[in-house]
């Protein structure tokens, strides 16, 4: 059983690859972005908090995110691995994840970083914005999300590099080509277990 973090800037394909990985490796797909958007649709307490941050391209406060993940892990079957998509996004979240996994008798197998050029990220997100209806897929908010990624999320890479869990994956190309690269990493991680 493997537990995996899929990491990368906005538009790097975390959600796209996350769905495929979860299906092929039989993992629970936990996307904080999807959970927050569902909370907004359902107008829950978390949703009301999250909306004001997401609309501005800012990160939702760590406490809200960590509580959400902690509560969710309680409910997941112990015989299945988990794929974390869009989480952790700060070093505080990465530290909390390590604690939460330990409490639940799990450990992290690897962190996959999707590497994509910034110009391509903007192109992908603007294209999605034409049809997604997402309040954060517009030029102004995309620029803010990229700034926030560079200042608050990039340090998470060092956190996992130090722990020996970091794997870089080239995130340019077709969805299928990128998945093949991811599968090569995950197969070797599984084989080493
Ligand atoms: P997310 O939903 O995680 O949004 P994202 O970073 O933009 O990634 P997403 O998964 O949507 O896009 P993807 O790269 O798959 O978060 C949204 C907001 O929620 C954040 O800004 C923040 O405010 C908040 N939030 C979420 N998690 C949080 C946390 N842990 N802490 C604090 N706040 C949090 O793909 C983008 C597009 O590229 C898609 O349209 C896809 O079709 C396309 N694409 C994918 N692969 C492609 C390829 N190979 N070629 C061409 N296009 C491709």
Q: Is the pLDDT of residue 178 over 90?
A: yes
Q: What is the pLDDT of residue 61?
A: 97
- Is the pLDDT score of 158 beyond 90? yes
Which tokens go with 122? 């903007």
31 CA to middle of ligand 1, Å? Answer: 9
Q: Which residue has the tokens 């495929």?
A: 20
* 14 tagged catalytic: yes
Give the lowest-confidence range in 2-16, 71-85, 141-155. 71-85
Q: Is 89 part of the annotated catalytic residue set? A: yes
The reported pTM is 0.96
Residue 163 confidence (pLDDT) above 90: yes
Q: Indicate whether residue 60 lines ligand 1 (CB < 6 A).
A: yes
Whole-number pLDDT of residue 77: 86
Q: According to the model, what pLDDT value does residue 102 have?
A: 94
Residue nearest to atom 43 of ligand 1 (CA): 124
pLDDT of residue 79: 87
Ligand 1 lined by 54 (C-beta under 6 Å): yes
Q: Whose CA is nearest to atom 26 of ligand 1?
A: 33
Catalytic-residue membership of 128: yes
């Amino acid at each position: 059983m493997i537990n995996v973090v899929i990491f990368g800037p906005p538009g790097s394909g975390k959600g796209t690859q996350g769905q495929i990985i979860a299906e092929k490796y039989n993992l629970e797909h936990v996307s904080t972005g999807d959970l927050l958007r569902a909370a907004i649709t359902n107008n829950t307490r978390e949703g009301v908090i999250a909306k004001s941050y997401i609309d501005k391209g800012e990160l939702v406060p760590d406490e809200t995110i960590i509580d959400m993940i902690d509560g969710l892990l309680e409910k997941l079957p112990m015989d299945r691995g988990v794929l974390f998509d869009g989480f952790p996004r700060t070093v505080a979240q990465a530290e909390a994840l390590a604690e939460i996994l330990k409490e639940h008798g799990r450990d992290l197998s690897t962190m996959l970083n999707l590497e994509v050029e910034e110009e391509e990220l903007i192109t992908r997100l603007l294209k999605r914005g034409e049809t997604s209806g997402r309040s954060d897929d517009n030029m102004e908010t995309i620029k803010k999300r990229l700034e926030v990624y560079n200042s608050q999320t990039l340090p998470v890479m060092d956190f996992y590099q130090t722990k020996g869990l970091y794997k870089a994956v080239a995130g340019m190309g077709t969805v299928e080509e990128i998945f093949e690269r991811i599968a090569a990493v995950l197969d070797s991680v599984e084989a080493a277990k």
